[in-house]
Amino acid sequence: MKVLLINGSPHEKGCTNRALEEVAGALNAAGVGSEIFWIGKGDIHGCIACGQCGGSSNKCVFDDTVNQALVKMQEADGLIVGSPVYYASLNGALSSFLDRMFYAGACFHHKPAAAVTSARRAGTTATLDIIQKYFTISQMPIISSQYWNMVHGSCPEDVEKDLEGLQTMRTLGMNMAWMIQCIEAGKKSGIDIPNTEDKIMTNFIR
């Protein structure tokens, strides 16, 4: 059992990473593996709706860190996406990354997911809402904590002082591990993942 944690910050070892490290520590303590995947700070192309991936190939035509993450997500049992807050929203590179990852991906259904945000002061809950929409359109159970999944600070040293935020991350890790273990136990007991109907597309303009 393993969880993929995506660090969507351009700073590999910044505040977002510190939050994800706390989650990963709790996952590992509960017997669930983890991997923090950094999207990097290079250019990440936005989705151009070319349709080449078809939503099921698990590969985007732009061969970059998105495809690397999709390979890892195929083997993962859960997903956590972490983002810094830019103008009360997630940063642009991560937005492009998630658009393409979820459009091309065929490896998300019924895997537990959670969002984590980092900010100096505000915009965290709006960012959480945006990221969680990727999960809810992909049939992913959302994992919660004892507070909204956020830490505060301008640098990792500030995050170390956010004791409530770090505790929230640990609780999130424990809850994610518990859910994954419950799903695994259910599979062993003969409880199958629900079958998904063929998708019906309804247009509002006739």
Is beta strand 113-119 parallel, antiparallel or unpaired with respect to 150-152? parallel
In the prediction, which pLDDT does 56 show? 62
pTM: 0.95
Evaluate if residue 145 carries a pLDDT over 70: yes
In the prediction, which pLDDT does 106 show? 86
In the prediction, which pLDDT does 55 show? 54
Question: What tens digit of pLDDT does each residue of 110-143 get?
Answer: 999 999 999 999 999 999 999 999 999 999 999 9
- For the chain, which domains are there? 2-188 (3.40.50.360)
Say which residue the tokens 């910044």 belong to: 14
Mean pLDDT (the chain, rounded): 95
pLDDT, average across residues 167-179: 98
Question: What tens digit of pLDDT does each residue of 8-63 get?
Answer: 999 999 999 999 999 999 999 999 999 999 999 999 999 999 988 865 678 999 99
Evaluate if residue 94 carries a pLDDT over 70: yes
Of all residues in the chain, the percent with pLDDT exceeding 70 is 98
Q: Which tokens is 3 given?
A: 């969880």
pLDDT, average across residues 65-81: 97
Q: How far apart are CA 67 and CA 201, in angstroms?
A: 27
Q: How far apart are CA 79 and CA 111, in angstroms?
A: 7
Burial class (CB in 10 A: 0-12, 13-18, 19+), 125: middle
Among candidate residues 12, 1, 60, the one with its CA nearest the CA of residue 36: 12
> What's the chain's Rg over C-alpha atoms?
17
DSSP, res 120:
S
Say which residue the tokens 């994610």 belong to: 176
Q: How far apart are CA 62 and CA 44, in angstroms?
A: 9
C-alpha distances in Å from residue 30, one per residue of 25, 150, 184: 9, 21, 14
Among candidate residues 23, 18, 46, the one with its CA nearest the CA of residue 34: 23
pLDDT, average across residues 58-85: 96
Confidence band for 196, pLDDT divided at 50, 70 and 90: confident
In the prediction, which pLDDT does 68 show? 96
